[in-house]
Structure 1
Amino acid sequence: MMQSNRMTTTLKMTNLLLAVACAAVLMGSATADEEEVSMTVDEVVELIEPFGEGCTPKPEREHIVEMVLNKEDAKHESKCFRHCMLEQFELMPEGQLQYNEDKTVDMINMMFPDREDDGRRIIKTCNEQLKAEQDKCEAAHGIAMCMLREMRSSGFKIPEVKE
């Protein structure tokens, strides 16, 4: 029962991390001594949908799905939903076009302890790559896609969401 609660907590934190950090599809990540847990797109969408209530434009289900699946060629509305969530959790503060490095590192550290240096390097790299982007939605999405690629290439265990 204790491991089940820990896995449920891990799933909730993982989904929150996906939603707010938008760095990667971190759903289903588990520590080395746990079996891998994964969720379906529908399950993740249900958890994330309430975050769209205060967003403008209000995302439709298809936009949330695109964000959850980290579609590189996502619709602009999907990218804006990503930005809205980042703003809600102050990971991309209002008026800013880059991720807040310290807060994003803190979120990454919740799921990947002992990888702070890698997380910080990745955030700096991706913020720098997108520094010329002036559209807040494009910046939020571009940085997230960059972080996903960089995390995977750095050996972060990032499972895919089951469709």
Structure 2
Amino acid sequence: MMQSKRMMNQLLLLACAGIFLGSTVADEELSMTLDEVVDLIQPFGEGCDPVPAKENIVEMVQNKEDAKRESKCFRHCLLEQFELMPEGQLQFNEDKTVEMMNMMFPDNEEDSRRITKACNDRLKAEQDKCEAAHGISMCMLKEMRASGLKIPEIKE
């Protein structure tokens, strides 16, 4: 029972990480391929309009800087579903984002809050929800790496 609860928590964490940044959290017990991450995230796309094609999910997971609009909108849809970017907002919810980041990077709340605020501020003039979601996510990914937070790559 304890093992299955731990695995469920890891899967939830992976789903959140994938939705948030398109990355996975490395774990000695749990290592996922690109296809596995896409399969994990794909059901969340059923609630999006339009439902994303697999190529859009792949682009989001791979953090393509020059992603297609559909991929950027898929990221927005997922962020909205997880209330990281609430409906009608063009910024990340700082408290919820920091809480999710703390699951991936315990003991880094100060960095998480600084990164979230800086990236929200950097893109505050963006008026397109898909561009805002993608731009803030890409900014946060760069800032997290610059701050020494390890963002593992997904195996192909």
Same fold (TM over 0.5): yes
Q: Percent identity?
A: 69
CA distance in 1, matches of 2:145, 2:48: 29
Q: Classify 1:63/1:96 alpha carbon distance in 2 versus 1 (closer, same or farther; 3 Å).
A: same
Report the equivalent of 1:18: 17
* Cα distance, 1:57 vs structure 2: 1.6
CA distance in 2, matches of 1:75, 1:156: 27
CA distance in 1, matches of 2:42, 2:148: 30
* Cα distance, 1:110 vs structure 2: 1.0
Q: Cα deviation per residue 1:68-118 (whole Å; 9 max; x = unaligned)?
A: 111111000000000000000111000000000000000011121110000
CA distance in 2, matches of 1:114, 1:162: 27
**Which amino acid letter does the alignment assign opposite residue 15 of structure 1?**
L
- Partner SS for 1:127: helix
- Partner SS for 1:28: coil
Structure 1 position 29 matched with structure 2 position 26: yes
Unaligned residue ranges in structure 1 (runs of 5+): none
Once superposed, what is the RMSD of the aligned Cα atoms? 1.9
1:113-124 superposed matches below 5 A: 113-124=106-117
Given that residues 120 and 136 in structure 2 are in contact (C-alpha distance below 8 angstroms), is that contact kept between their aligned partners in structure 1?
yes
CA distance in 2, matches of 1:111, 1:129: 23
Which of 140, 154, 158 does residue 151 from structure 2 map onto? 158
* Cα distance, 1:29 vs structure 2: 2.6
- Partner SS for 1:113: coil
Unaligned residue ranges in structure 2 (runs of 5+): none
CA distance in 2, matches of 1:89, 1:3: 25
Report the equivalent of 1:70: 63
* Cα distance, 1:39 vs structure 2: 1.1
Structure 1 position 44 matched with structure 2 position 3: no
After TM superposition, the score normalised by the length of structure 2 is 0.91
